[in-house]
Amino acid sequence: MSGERATLELEHGGRVARVRLAAPKANILDRAMIADLDRVCDALAGSAGLVAIVVGAEGPNFSFGASVEEHLPDEIEAVLGELHALLGRFLELPAPTLAAIRGSCLGGGLELALVCDLILAEEGARLGQPEIRLGVFPPAASALLPVRVGAGPASELILTGAAWTGKRAAELGLVSRVTPDGTLEEALSGWLADDFLGRSPAALAHAVRATRRTLRQAVERELPLLERQYVDELMAEPDAVEGIRAFLEKRPPRWGARE
């Protein structure tokens, strides 16, 4: 199965599903990409016998994140709803999900990685939530990051817009395994062989249902509240629209407090 911006292939005798973001070099998580990934979830939902679902990307970067153009007021509510529904669907997939990250993994791209069970990253990868620089915040990351790494590190990433290297993200517990730059595929193959290909698909399916409980609660309970805060409250602030427009117009933002 393939789509314009995301592809799905079965490997290792149908035991491993390989999902690829396929719009390099940025692999923007726009509405077209979200729709393709939603179709991938449809194809995987009833799959039996899978021991792993690898979520990777073509090109030098995992994803630069969401389409900034789609975050203007006339589209943002629909875009957030579609993205957050997709994240929920990833938490229902029937086998462990492994995000394989090289290059930049930012914004919505990192939010997609956050709903994967395990993350493998190259040492020099960049994982970050830059939304604050545009005058907004990331609802899904705000719900998921505290579950994954705790409140302090989550606040650092969200409030400063900083990016962690793959090595730093591993030290903080977000990345499960880190590998030298240029060795992502080799490290992934070894991980699959060592820890997944010989396992029981049924046992893994039950194990991920169990281990995803806290992430699923964050998506089901906290994320809808954060989505409404973003759409109803944040987007009523002039700074939110100014930050997006300034980015698109390639100029410094003129925040209200500075005028």
Catalytic residues: 131
3-state secondary structure of 2: strand
Rg (CA), the chain: 18
The one-letter code for the residue type at 126 is R
Closest to 222 measured CA to CA, from 88, 131, 77: 88
In angstroms, the CA 247 to CA 241 distance is 10
Exposed (0-12), middle (13-18) or buried (19+): which is 175, by Cβ within 10 Å?
buried
Mark 113-150 as b/e (b = at least 16 C-beta within 10 Å).
bbbbbbbbbbbebbbbbbbbebbbbbbbbbbbbbbbbe
Please report which helix (H) or strand (E) contains residue 166, including its range.
helix 166-171
CB 197 within 8 A of CB 204: no
Burial of 76 (0-12, 13-18, 19+ CB in 10 A): buried
Q: How many CB atoms lie within 10 A of CB 57?
A: 25
Task: Supply 230's token pair.
Answer: 């973003």
